[in-house]
Amino acid sequence: MAHEQQRATVEDSNSWNLDGIAFFDNEMLPPSLVRIGPILRVANEIEWVNPRVAYLCRFYAFETVHRLHPSSEDAAVFRLKSLLVPRLAREEETTLIGVQKRSDRDEIMAFYQYYCEKYIQGLQNADKTDSNVCTRLTKAYESAVVLFEVLETMCPRSKLSPEIWELHKQVTEKAALHIHNIHPLDTETSDQQLPNHPKIPFQAIKDCTQDFNERNCIGKGGYGRVYKGILTWGDYVNQLVAVKRLDVTGFQGNKEFHTELTMLSQFQHENIITLIGFCDVNKEMILVYEYASHGSLDKYLHDPTMSCELSWPQLLKICVGVASALDYLHNHVAEKHRIIHRDIKSANILLDENWNAKLSDFGLARIGLANQSNTVVITNLAGTHGYCDPQYERTGLLTKESDVYSFGVVLFEVLCGRLACVMNYHDERRFLHHLARTCYRNGELDKIIDHRTKKDIKPRTLLKFSAIAYQCLQETREERPAISVVVFQLKEAMKIQLEDEIL
């Protein structure tokens, strides 16, 4: 009975609880450690079934924290380590009591198989029309992902047994199908119809990319690959395009594919990337976009050899363009709802042949009612380290001000000529949002402004630009400006810059 009560408490909790201390309610971990939350949740969830595997999950969490933050200078990191160390010391021996005599690698491998067969397969056979079953199954899939992640640290894929590897593939495929069947948007919050963009034949896309030739690959990541191609099909003749081919085995692939397809099919803006068409035959998930010939903004920020191609007035124009796109999403897409992008970063800002900004990657976007202050995101936190709204990370509550925070990070990236997170730094310089806020408050922005554009920035422009960027990075949402205010202030900054240049 005690175990059952403990289990219910753990499953109902949204905080990370160590020895009864829900520390995450009061302190914020750096964005680089957002992944720790799900790992600790799984450890709590499975502890009543297998304390040893729960210990291994916590140990993996500790190793991850220590690897990314060895000095523990951040207060929240220090407290997390302080909570984990004594617990791990106790559990190192106590969790071995009653455990069969086998290695930790074999123990977690056996438990992964047990978990998938007992919990996931059991829920797969349950009534899917029951919303509680769907929620539990989604959570079970997420837990399986964590367990396999921990397993991989102890046993390379090459040494996994064929049975475990096959089980993992099956779980991954069924998880993708499950996510696909749960529509990513709440139909009650949307008055829009399904995608109205053309479905492009797979053969036309193969011809366009020369059968996905590696030489045409212009980008790749966990989502899949992006290819440059020349499309000749329908009304398009020798049209230069970008083809995103999502990884069909990816856990979030289906969900992100349909979200992006839905979003870009319904909402058009001069500063949002244009979707030309899609292909979803034979389990393929392919999106075809207009081609942004100058690539993404991030490469101009971190590559010293390329940043000189963008002048300060051009950078201001890009910032105004992105802010305008966000203003459209937050306030003007429709009367009844707003769009929250949820992954604003310089890598998702593309530049066309005229250096116009094109906001892209809507796979994580969410719809919220226009008359509601926030949208509660039930799934795992999403976004990118260094850009995420700390309140969203802490509470799971997503609002349009979360986008404003992320955009504030981008504004400082532009001003400082660097990316949001630089792993080579092991001090306060690693995360730009911490560094920028500190320097702004101390009147020391001059120390971090990009030396390549510094001489071209007019003092009054800098004053207005840095002030609005700093306001975007306020810890609480109530203190952040509306995106419409950001647009106005950036346009004023650009006006001052151009007037000063004329004078």
Q: Within 10 Å of residue 473's Cβ, how many Cβ atoms?
A: 24
The 10s digit of each residue's pLDDT in 56-69 is 999 988 888 887 77
Q: Are residues 69 and 176 in the same domain?
A: yes
* 28 in Cβ contact with 76 (< 8 Å): yes
Q: Is residue 196 part of a domain?
A: no
Q: Are residues 309 and 445 in the same domain?
A: yes
The residues with which 349 forms a beta bridge, in sequence order, are 359
Structure tokens at 209: 């990319």
Average pLDDT of span 444-449: 93
pTM above 0.85, yes or no: no
The 10s digit of each residue's pLDDT in 316-345 is 999 999 999 999 999 887 766 788 898 999
By mean pLDDT, which of 11-20, 239-248, 427-436, 453-462 is the weakest? Answer: 11-20
Q: Are residues 281 and 315 in the same domain?
A: no
Q: Are residues 231 and 327 in the same domain?
A: no
Q: Are residues 330 and 448 in the same domain?
A: yes
Q: Are residues 428 and 339 in the same domain?
A: yes
Per-residue pLDDT, 371: 53
Exposure pattern of 246-275 as b/e (b: 16+ CB <10 Å)?
bbbebbbbbbbbbbbbbbbbbbebebbbbb
Q: Dmax over Cα atoms in the chain, in whole Å?
A: 81
Q: Is residue 189 part of a domain?
A: no
Per-residue pLDDT, 187: 34
Residue 244 counted as an annotated binding residue: yes
The 10s digit of each residue's pLDDT in 103-119 is 888 888 999 999 988 88
Average pLDDT of span 476-486: 92
Catalytic residue numbers, as ranges: 343
User: Which of 290, 308, 331 marks a domain boundary?
Assistant: 290
Rounded Cα gap, residues 260 and 361, in angstroms = 7
Domain that holds residue 377: 298-502
pLDDT band at 397 (very low <50, low <70, confident <90, very high): confident
Provide the strand spans (E) within 53-149: none
Classified as helix, coil or strand, 444 is coil
Q: What is the DSSP string of 171-228?
A: HHHHHHHHHHHS-SS-GGG----S--S-B--HHHHHHHTTTT-GGGEEEEETTEEEEE
Average pLDDT of span 377-404: 74
Please count the structural domains in the chain: 3
Q: Is residue 193 part of a domain?
A: no
* Sequence-separated (6 or more) residues with CB below 8 Å from residue 348: 296, 359, 360, 361
Structure tokens at 297: 């903004």
User: Which of 246, 266, 290 marks a domain boundary?
Assistant: 290
Q: Are residues 342 and 208 in the same domain?
A: no
Q: Report the percent of the chain where pLDDT is more than 70.
A: 77
Q: Are residues 36 and 73 in the same domain?
A: yes
Q: Are residues 127 and 208 in the same domain?
A: no
User: Which of 260, 290, 320 marks a domain boundary?
Assistant: 290
Evaluated on CA atoms 491, 497, 502, 503, the torsion sign reads: positive
Rounded Cα gap, residues 64 and 352, in angstroms = 39
Q: Are residues 114 and 244 in the same domain?
A: no
Q: Are residues 279 and 336 in the same domain?
A: no
Q: Is residue 455 part of a domain?
A: yes
Q: Is residue 195 part of a domain?
A: no
Q: Are residues 277 and 309 in the same domain?
A: no
CATH number of the domain to which 123 belongs = 1.25.40.270
